[in-house]
Structure 1
Amino acid sequence: MSSTQSAPPRNHGRAGRDLPAAFASAFVLLAAVALGLAFEKTAFMLVVVAAVLVAVWELQRAFATRGIDLPEQPMMLGGAVMVLVAYFWGAPALVTATAVTCLAIMLWLLRRGIDGYVMNATAAVFSVIYVPFLGSFVALMLAEGGTTGGGLDDAGVKGILTFILVTVASDTGGYAAGVLFGKHPMAPVISPKKSWEGFAGSLVFTIVAGVLLVVHLLEGDWWVGVALGLIAVVMATLGDLCESVIKRDLGIKDMSQVIPGHGGLMDRLDSLLATIAPVWLLLHYAVF
């Protein structure tokens, strides 16, 4: 018998995660967000742009497993421009930049010829809407208090914190209730670990967080907090399920391994990307 033994596999528990690594990664990411917002929110836009670029890179690699070749260069350049124009010039500029980016991608793909054009162009436009376009609503939210400054007195910073915290509340509530009480799968073919009990936990956590944040941080009406919680829990759940469908269709477990304990950046952004647009719309017209 050999004197050396292989280390036993790490037990990730019912959640299927390496919890110490996951919590450490989450702490680092949240600390980076908090520091960016606390000092100069314009600098935080660099974090948003960087996240968009990494997410586009992950999608390019993921689609390549199925022979879909996304044009990475115009998608990255266009995605960065979309985020920045949304921050400095608002929603009309974002719509224009999105249209130009999609057209530029289709023109770029003409250089490759006819074979695979429709497949690659369709996947590329889908990816542009999924990541840079939705991600640009973070810029719209942050710009609510102007494009300079920072700190908790700024309306845009408060909006970003509210958006992030209600989404975290949805994920946390769903995780806790799912691990403790989960028995009835919500979508067993798509996401076997997601249960209706977990969804109920997400609902409770998110509505409570929404009311507390809107009333005490944004100084808005309680009913806006309830609406915020309902929107966030539904959209965060749909975002998670949609990304699970994408990964299963592509035959991959994680988008990448750039975040220890979590997988890829897109594996963490799925709920946030799905939540930000309706949350911005609600807060823009009901609070700011």
Structure 2
Amino acid sequence: MSHPDPYGSEPRGWDRPERPVALPWPEQDLDAGQWSRRPTAGPELYADPHTRPYADPNPYDERGRTVRPDDASTRHGDPERHDEPGRYDEPGRYDGPPFDGPVRYDDDAGYPTAQLAPIGAEIAPDPEPVTEPEPPSGRRTKGRRRASVDRPATQQLGTGRAGRNLPAAIGVGLGLGALIVVPLVFYPLAFLAVLAGAVAIGMWEMARAVRRSGAHPPLVPLIAGGVLTVGLAWFAGPDALSLGLLVTVLGTMIWRLGDGPAGFQRDLTAATLIAVYVPFLAGFAALLAAAPDDGPLRILATLIAVVLSDTGGYAAGVSFGRHPMAPSISPKKSWEGFAGSVTAAALGSALLLWLMFEVAPWWGAVFGVAVSCAAVLGDLAESMIKRDLGVKDMSNLLPGHGGLMDRLDSILFAVPTAYLLLAIFVPVVN
């Protein structure tokens, strides 16, 4: 359907008489008289009869206010003098200041646009277009997304290939080591308080993590039973350790009965896993430290072997890691890192046990290999639990390490192995 001609049936030249023309579309702010302001000049003055004459590329006046088409006289003059004729009333004359918009003509000739220049006027050629450099493909790096002149890019703390913030990890590791060594050297009974606190925090992290699977193990009987289990192992030996585990599981079961039968089996299974994984395995650390005469040396030898295993595995994995050890469980662990763990623990333990307990170096190397393998298995076991629960770390309690359980995972599997081997290599004399 064709639209009606807004100019009627008259010719479209500029010689027709000037009169208001009704517009075919509704406009509230413009009327026909505003569109009839055009200078009476020959057809050579305009290149296109449909172009609005003297279109100002700057729609704002000197005070930043929007100017309507009929206020052209106030754009470059006094805004208050609306009664004076505009500078566009004389045909072919423009005596205002230069335009602010992009210039595509010879401004010395005095024509506001190239379309209004007379035929034959010399018009400067268009300047070469300035092409902006294309942004690099791909996603921009972090820290530069909102950078500007006034706001420089923020520097991100880099992490190593193992995914850790290495300075924070080293600082936190040294602090944890001091928290363990100082009580063992000066007052061994204080180590029991440190161990009980670590067990309580570890059980809290585990209970918090398993809630993602829908299980809700009761936390109060778990923590109380875990602390009791560690204390019984310290004061009463291995038999009391098993008794503490039994009391913890039964106490959790009785406590859970008060919440009804809904989800009882699921909650009790999660509670039993936590009770065995954290306080029962940590009870072997209490058995090592509570041994008469050389208890602190036994726990120190075990912890040093675990630290050597972790350090050797980290250094070898970062430097030579090429073959993943268990990609579906822990993609960053490699067989090269495992070899570094075993080698470092074997060499260090051979020297350490010979100096501490006068054990033959080859038996010390066997001790180091066994402790290293147990530590790696403990790390993989916790990685499998976290992957099954869909969490990266048990918590964010320790900067550079994650949660406390992320540091205890290898120790919890290493202390039962060390307790068994040291009971053979260095018998306890009561």
Matching residue of 2:4: none
Q: Deviations over 1:224-283 (max 9, x none)?
A: 212211211111111011110111111111101111110100000000001100110110
Question: In the alignment, residue 213 of structure 1 is paired with which amino acid?
Answer: L
Matching residue of 2:386: 247
Matching residue of 2:363: 224
Q: Give, in angstroms, the shift of residue 64 of structure 1.
A: 1.3
User: Could you say which structure has the higher helix fraction?
Assistant: 1
Pair 1:117 & 2:264 matched = yes
- Aligned-partner Cα distance in 1 for 2:243–2:152: 60
Q: Give, in angstroms, the shift of residue 6 of structure 1.
A: 5.2
Matching residue of 2:398: 259
Please, which of 225, 231, 238 is the counterpart of residue 84 of structure 1?
231
**Looking at CA atoms only, which structure, 1 or 2, has the larger radius of gyration?**
2
Matching residue of 1:151: none
Q: Give, in angstroms, the shift of residue 2 of structure 1.
A: 6.2
Query: Which moved further from structure 2: 64-73 or 183-192?
Result: 64-73
Pair 1:50 & 2:189 matched = no
- Aligned-partner Cα distance in 2 for 1:263–1:126: 21
Closer/same/farther in 2, CA of residues 6 and 247 from structure 1, 3 Å limit: farther
Structure 1 unaligned residues grouped into runs of 5+: 146-153
- Aligned-partner Cα distance in 1 for 2:199–2:180: 14
Matching residue of 2:26: none
Question: In the alignment, residue 386 of structure 2 is paired with which amino acid?
Answer: K
Please, which of 276, 279, 285 is the counterpart of residue 424 of structure 2?
285
CA contact (8 A) 2:238 2:287 kept: yes
CA contact (8 A) 2:343 2:369 kept: no
Count of matched residue positions in the alignment of Structure 1 and Structure 2: 280
- Aligned-partner Cα distance in 1 for 2:222–2:153: 44
Matching residue of 1:275: 414
Please, which of 313, 328, 348 is the counterpart of residue 174 of structure 1?
313
Alignment map for 1:160-199 (pairs within 5 Å): 160-199=299-338
Tell me, what secondary structure is at the counterpart of 2:325? strand
- Aligned-partner Cα distance in 1 for 2:216–2:408: 22
Alignment map for 1:67-82 (pairs within 5 Å): 67-82=214-229
- Aligned-partner Cα distance in 1 for 2:200–2:219: 9
Matching residue of 2:64: none
Q: Give, in angstroms, the shift of residue 4 of structure 1.
A: 2.0
**Percent same amino acid at aligned positions?**
46
- Aligned-partner Cα distance in 2 for 1:230–1:256: 30
Please, which of 172, 179, 183 is the counterpart of residue 25 of structure 1?
172
Tell me, what secondary structure is at the counterpart of 1:252? coil
Q: Give, in angstroms, the shift of residue 13 of structure 1.
A: 1.6
Runs of 4+ in 1 over 4 A off after TM superposition: none
Please, which of 227, 238, 246 is the counterpart of residue 99 of structure 1?
246
Query: Which moved further from structure 2: 4-13 or 50-59?
Result: 4-13
Matching residue of 1:148: none
Tell me, what secondary structure is at the counterpart of 1:192? strand
Q: Give, in angstroms, the shift of residue 81 of structure 1.
A: 0.5
Q: Give, in angstroms, the shift of residue 101 of structure 1.
A: 1.0
Higher RCO, 1 vs 2 (CA within 8 Å, ≥6 residues apart): 1
Matching residue of 2:281: 134
Q: If the length of structure 2 is used for normalisation, what is the TM-score? A: 0.64
- Aligned-partner Cα distance in 2 for 1:5–1:70: 49
- Aligned-partner Cα distance in 2 for 1:248–1:210: 32
Q: Give, in angstroms, the shift of residue 5 of structure 1.
A: 4.0
What's the RMSD between the two structures over aligned residues?
1.1
Structure 2 unaligned residues grouped into runs of 5+: 1-147
